[in-house]
Structure formats: structure tokens, C-alpha cells
């Protein structure tokens, strides 16, 4: 008989982290703990308030219902939770953890054995010019050859100047630059801004305009001078038919999958299968989970054998994250067998 409980946990950022949606100092997350015959399974329901489709007043009530009805089993519960992707993912993770020999090794591989790493991008948050330049310098010193810069909150010309100064020092073969607008551009100004960004050999731009504008985004993807990656566009699209419609209509160059936001391993895999039908490339990103969620995403991502840099470098953002074997070294995420897990709520 499986016993289930849920627990709220507040992650504290080491320094305020800015996007075009605002500045974050804390991040709320929830854990589902399963217990059976002396074994434990841990899952993380990583919700992003103001962004997650399941940011709803009844969120905690839904978690309570899940724990009270855990005997329905994983398959039934996960199918019941399609419109609550972060709980769906937390549950998938918790059952996978419970079924595993070691509660933290969900997908055994060369990665979890410490033999291989995952290429990741270094993340640069919004702030004033000097703060952004400082972060970029730190990432390059740390050995990253792919950097993702959040844009759209400060003066656009200042952002272009920052990109220009990076390109003066580092060629496209030395450093891959990705930018993330989080929907900050207006649909009428977006193309002009993309043209100006393209002067600096940008790998891709995430979500240039706000989601749910399928026709304007489709037009943009058709004529864009630099590749466009859909991110927020995928949130709240539940059925396979609707997912196919988004990809078929917009025809983006890339999609970015955050399992906590798009329905866990099952929902993400469905997006991947559809994207590959349309020759759309993809990569995986965490959504500011603790090391528990990040670990599950990273282990699963490694099994997909996608060689592009992934967005999995978020573990060091918090002061009260759980000590874990996850480490970042020379632009890769690694699983160090010398370090131990310490999960105490």
C-alpha cells in the first residue's frame, strides 16, 4: 500500500533574478513523497507562479486529492492531471523514484555513473548593463561556450551594445549566443528587432512575441533572419491534435521543453515526436526546480542523446537548494560520485 504526502518548500535566490516578466527573489515548489515497504519515492511539482498553466487557486487542493487517491495508480492519476502539468510531472518523478533501486537514480546511465556530462548553456539574467556584463564574464571564465542572455527588460540598444562587445571578443566558433525575450517584443516591431539582433550571429531567440498569436508568430518564423525557438507558446497546449496544430501553423526552427510546464516526461516526449515529424529541432530546459527536479530532468535528458547545449544550469541559483551530486564544470552538468544527496524538508 503506497502512502503519499505533499510538502511546500520555498527556494531563495542567491541574488534577485530578472526576466521581462519581473524580478524573482523566491520560488515556491512542492514535493510529493511516496512510501511503500520501507522505500521512498520523491517527486517535485515545480510551479512558476504567473507562468505555469496550473497556477490556480485550487493547486494545493489538487495535491491533497492526489495524495488521498494515490491508490488509483500512476497511469490513472497522470491521465487525470493533464491540465496540471507540474503535478503530473511530480507524480511521474515520484513513482519512478519509488520503483528505482536508488531513489535519486531514476534513469541509470553513463551520466549517473559519473562517466559523461551534459553540455549546457550558461544563463545570464536581466539587470543593468554592468550586472549583465559581469555575469557574462563569469560564465566565460567558468568555461561555457554557449550563453543564453535574457533580453527585453532594459533598453534594446544597450542590449545590442552588450552583444556587439561580446562578438568583438568572441567569434561565433568560440561562443554560441542564445537570447530569450520571454515574449517582450510587440508583434509589429519584432521583425526589425530580429534583423538588428542577427548582426551578432545569434544562434536563436526564444519566444520573441507573446504566446497565443499563432498567425503573427508563423509569419515571423517564415521571414526571420535568425532561428526562433518556441517556449511559452507550448504551455497550456494539452491534446496531441492541438500540439500538432501549433507546430504545423507556426513552423518554428526550434522548440524548448520544460517538463514541469508541458506535462512531464510524457508531455515532453509527445512534443518531441511531433517536432521531429516536422523537422523542428528541440532542446530541454529546467524551470527553476530544486536539485530534485533538475536531477530527474537531467537524467532523462541524457537518455535522449541530444548533443545541443541544454538549459540545465539552474541548480546553483538558490541558497537553500538540497546538496546533491549535480555539479557544473566547463560548461557541462556532471554527476559527481564523490558528492552525496541530502534531502531534508
For the segment 304-310, the average pLDDT, to the nearest whole number, is 97
Provide the β-strand partners of residue 96. Answer: none
Based on the domain organization, do 64 and 197 belong to the same domain?
Answer: no
Based on the domain organization, do 186 and 85 belong to the same domain?
Answer: no
> How many domains does one find in the chain?
2
Domain coverage including residue 23: 3-99
For the segment 65-75, the average pLDDT, to the nearest whole number, is 96
For the segment 178-185, the average pLDDT, to the nearest whole number, is 93
For the segment 222-243, the average pLDDT, to the nearest whole number, is 97
Per-residue pLDDT reduced to its tens digit, 14-69: 987 766 567 888 999 999 999 999 999 999 999 998 889 999 999 999 999 999 99
E-strand spans in the chain? 3-19, 22-36, 39-45, 118-119, 122-124, 146-150, 176-180, 204-206, 228-230, 254-257, 281-284, 326-329, 332-335
For the segment 135-157, the average pLDDT, to the nearest whole number, is 90
Domain boundary among 70, 99, 128: 99
Q: Is 210 a catalytic residue?
A: no
* Percent of the chain's residues with pLDDT above 70: 99
For the segment 218-247, the average pLDDT, to the nearest whole number, is 97
Statement: residue 127 has pLDDT above 90 = no
The three-class DSSP label of residue 73 is coil
DSSP string, 194-262: HHHHGGG--SEEE--B-SS-HHHHHHHHHH-SS-EEESGGGTT--SHHHHHHHHHHH--SEEEE-HHHH
Residue 154 pLDDT class (50, 70, 90 cuts): confident
Give the pLDDT of residue 18.
Answer: 66
Based on the domain organization, do 88 and 198 belong to the same domain?
Answer: no
Is there a domain that residue 257 lies in? yes
Based on the domain organization, do 225 and 314 belong to the same domain?
Answer: yes
Give the pLDDT of residue 69.
Answer: 97
Based on the domain organization, do 176 and 88 belong to the same domain?
Answer: no
Q: Which of 175, 173, 174, 145 lies closest to 330 in space, CA to CA?
A: 145
Angle at 92 between CA 90 and CA 93, to 5 degrees: 65
Based on the domain organization, do 271 and 207 belong to the same domain?
Answer: yes
- Farthest-apart Cα atoms in the chain, separation: 62
Is there a domain that residue 109 lies in? no
Q: Please give the distance of CA 269 from its chain centroid, rounded to a whole number.
A: 14
**CATH number of the domain encompassing residue 55:** 3.30.390.10
Statement: residue 326 has pLDDT above 90 = yes
Give the pLDDT of residue 225.
Answer: 98
The overall average pLDDT reported for the chain is 94
Is there a domain that residue 112 lies in? no
Statement: residue 197 has pLDDT above 90 = yes
Give the pLDDT of residue 20.
Answer: 59
For the segment 332-340, the average pLDDT, to the nearest whole number, is 96
Which residue out of 27, 96, 139, 150 is catalytically annotated?
150
Domain boundary among 99, 127, 161: 99
Is there a domain that residue 298 lies in? yes
Based on the domain organization, do 90 and 125 belong to the same domain?
Answer: no
For the segment 219-223, the average pLDDT, to the nearest whole number, is 98
Based on the domain organization, do 128 and 259 belong to the same domain?
Answer: yes
For the segment 176-197, the average pLDDT, to the nearest whole number, is 95
Domain boundary among 69, 99, 129: 99
Per-residue pLDDT reduced to its tens digit, 253-306: 999 999 999 999 999 999 999 999 999 999 999 999 999 999 999 999 999 999
Is there a domain that residue 247 lies in? yes
Based on the domain organization, do 170 and 264 belong to the same domain?
Answer: yes
Based on the domain organization, do 133 and 230 belong to the same domain?
Answer: yes
Distance CA 2, CA 250 (A): 44
Is there a domain that residue 111 lies in? no
Is there a domain that residue 176 lies in? yes
Based on the domain organization, do 42 and 129 belong to the same domain?
Answer: no
Residue 129 pLDDT class (50, 70, 90 cuts): confident
Question: Taking the model in full, what pTM does it have?
Answer: 0.96
Give the pLDDT of residue 24.
Answer: 82
**CATH number of the domain encompassing residue 277:** 3.20.20.120
Based on the domain organization, do 55 and 163 belong to the same domain?
Answer: no
Q: Is 329 a catalytic residue?
A: no
> What stretches of 142-182 show up as alpha helix (H) in DSSP?
156-169
**Residue 135 or 294, more confident:** 294
Is there a domain that residue 59 lies in? yes
Amino acid at each position: 500500500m503506497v502512502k503519499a504526502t505533499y510538502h511546500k518548500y520555498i527556494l531563495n535566490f542567491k541574488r534577485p533574478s530578472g526576466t521581462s516578466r519581473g524580478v524573482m527573489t523566491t520560488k515556491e515548489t512542492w514535493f510529493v513523497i511516496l512510501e511503500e515497504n520501507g522505500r521512498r519515492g520523491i517527486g517535485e511539482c515545480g510551479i512558476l507562479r504567473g507562468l505555469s498553466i496550473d497556477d490556480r487557486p485550487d493547486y494545493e487542493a489538487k495535491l491533497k486529492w492526489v495524495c488521498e487517491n494515490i491508490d488509483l495508480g500512476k497511469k490513472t492519476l497522470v491521465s487525470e492531471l493533464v491540465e496540471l502539468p507540474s503535478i503530473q510531472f511530480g507524480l511521474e518523478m515520484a513513482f519512478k523514484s519509488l520503483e528505482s533501486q536508488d531513489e535519486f537514480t531514476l534513469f541509470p546511465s553513463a551520466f549517473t555513473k559519473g562517466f559523461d556530462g551534459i553540455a549546457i548553456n550558461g544563463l545570464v539574467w536581466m539587470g543593468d548593463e554592468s550586472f549583465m556584463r559581469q555575469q557574462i564574464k563569469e560564465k566565460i571564465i567558468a568555461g561555457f561556450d554557449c550563453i543564453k542572455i535574457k533580453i527585453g527588460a532594459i533598453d534594446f540598444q544597450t542590449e545590442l551594445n552588450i552583444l556587439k562587445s561580446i562578438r568583438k571578443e568572441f567569434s561565433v566558433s568560440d561562443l554560441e549566443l542564445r537570447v530569450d525575450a520571454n515574449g517582450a517584443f510587440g508583434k509589429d516591431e519584432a521583425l526589425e528587432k530580429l534583423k538588428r539582433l542577427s548582426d551578432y550571429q545569434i544562434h536563436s531567440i526564444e519566444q520573441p512575441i507573446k504566446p497565443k498569436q499563432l498567425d503573427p508568430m508563423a509569419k515571423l518564423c517564415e521571414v526571420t533572419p535568425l532561428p526562433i525557438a518556441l517556449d511559452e507558446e507550448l504551455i497550456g497546449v494539452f491534446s496531441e491534435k492541438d500540439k500538432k496544430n501549433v507546430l504545423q501553423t507556426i513552423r518554428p526552427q526550434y522548440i524548448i521543453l520544460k517538463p514541469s510546464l508541458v506535462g512531464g516526461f510524457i508531455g515532453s516526449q509527445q512534443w518531441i515526436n511531433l517536432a521531429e515529424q516536422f523537422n523542428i529541432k528541440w532542446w530541454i530546459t529546467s524551470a527553476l526546480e530544486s536539485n530534485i527536479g533538475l536531477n530527474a530532468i537531467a537524467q532523462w535528458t541524457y537518455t535522449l542523446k541530444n548533443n545541443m547545449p541544454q538549459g540545465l544550469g539552474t541548480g546553483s541559483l538558490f541558497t537553500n537548494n538540497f546538496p546533491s551530486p549535480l555539479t557544473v564544470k566547463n560548461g557541462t552538468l556532471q554527476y559527481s560520485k564523490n558528492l552525496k544527496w541530502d534531502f531534508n524538508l
